Amino acid sequence: MKVLVCIKRVPDTGARFELTPDGQEIDTRNLEFTISPHEECAVEEAIRLVEQHGGESVVLTLGPEAAAEQLREALAKGVDKGVLLETDGSEWDPVATAEAIAQAVQQLESEQGQGPFDLLLFGNESADAGYYQVGVRVADRLDRPCVAGIKALKVEDGKARAKREVPGGWEIYELPLPCVFTVKEGINVPRHPSLRGIMTAKKKEIRRLTPEKPTMQLVKRRLRKPPERGGECEILGEGVAAVPKAVEKLKEIGVI
């Protein structure tokens, strides 16, 4: 089985964001970067599928040279190869991103000469841009069946069986291979890379391609913070001594 998983490099934010003075970006001077959470699970799913069925996994990202760090992280966890679609680091809209990925997939598949990837995996949405559409667009562009937002996946007899969580239960989908899924966190618990994994990852291949940047049709003007919840926090006390007062509050607001 051949699985391609697409990821995005995003800042690993903590308790609050600071924006750059021009409002164009998050100020990342004091932040680390990571793989967007849903995609971390997509990476884990790709590794597990190859562990189970044999074959090869490939991780792909579109982003600046620095995004190679996130490819290495996926390689350290057990993905076999990396592909970096290198940009100048500016933001690409969902149409441009999907087009560049679809073209890269076609190129990789024709070079390999072994037919299409059995599965293309994406995250349901990236943590930062939240476009909610890149995976579906790539699927339609390549004419492959696709389900978004799945939380369970099983591949058997040339078919993929996927589950999507809905209020009160699950929807079940059965897709022929090759196909495309966007996954949600919760589909698995991603592993941490082992020390050995980190060492081997250094020797794994990262292929670099440079897609052409088209005209953007969804153009960011600026980022801003929404009005924050909050105001004054009334500290009721320390430890168990605060409990009677807390219960009074619960009565006051009508939950007891």
Partner 1 sequence: MILGVIEHDRGKLNEASLEMLTLARTLGSPLEAVLIGADAGPFRETLKEYGVTKVYEVQHDQLGEYAPRAWGTSVVQLVRAKSPQAVLAAGTDRGNEVMAHVGAALGLPVAANCTEVRPGEGVYEVTRLRWGGSLLEDAELHGEPKLLTVAPHALSPEPASAGEVAVEAFRPTLDEKDLRVRVSAREEREREGVPLTEAKVVVGGGRGVGSAEGFKILEELAHLLGGAVGGSRVATNNGWRPHSDQIGQTGVQIAPDLYIACGISGAIQHIVGVKGAKYILAINKDPEAPIFQRADFGIVGDLHEVVPALVEEIKKRKSS
Binding to partner 1 in span 47-106, by CB under 8 A? 93-95, 98
Among 3, 4, 133, 183, binds partner 1 (CB under 8 A): 133
Minimum CB separation from partner 1 for residue 88, in Å?
Answer: 19
The residue among 51 and 248 lying less far from partner 1, judged by its C-beta, is 248
| Binds partner 1 (CB under 8 A): choice among 127, 198, 206, 209 | 127
* Pairwise CA distance, residues 181 & 219, whole Å: 27
| Choices 49-57, 74-82, 110-118, 146-154 (CB under 8 A): range interacting with partner 1 | 146-154
Nearer Cβ to partner 1 (195/255): 255
- For partner 1, the binding residue among 169, 195, 202, 203 (CB under 8 A) is 169
**Residues 180, 58: contact at Cβ < 8 Å?**
no
Helix (H, G, I), strand (E, B) or coil at 114: coil
User: How far apart, in Å, do the first and last CA atoms of the chain sit?
Assistant: 56
Least separation, in Å, of the C-beta of 231 and partner 1? 8
Q: How far apart are CA 181 and CA 45, in angstroms?
A: 11
- 27 part of the interface to partner 1, by CB under 8 A: no
State how far the Cα of 62 lies from the Cα of 84, in Å rounded to an integer: 6
Query: Between residue 208 and residue 237, which ones bind partner 1 under the rule CB under 8 A?
Result: 217-226, 228-237
Bridge partners of residue 100, in order along the sequence: none
User: Does residue 227 have a cis peptide bond before it, meaning omega lies within 30 degrees of 0?
Assistant: no
Residue 130, phi-psi category: left (phi > 0), alpha (psi -120 to 50), beta (remainder): left
Closest CA to 47 of 222, 188, 224: 188
Please list every residue from 171 through 210 that binds partner 1, using CB under 8 A.
171-176, 184-186, 189-190
CB of 81 to partner 1, least distance (A): 27
Q: Of 149, 155, 178, 201, which one interacts with partner 1 (CB under 8 A)? A: 149
Task: Compute the residue count for the chain.
Answer: 256
Which of 70, 81, 125, 153 is the binder for partner 1 (CB under 8 A)?
125
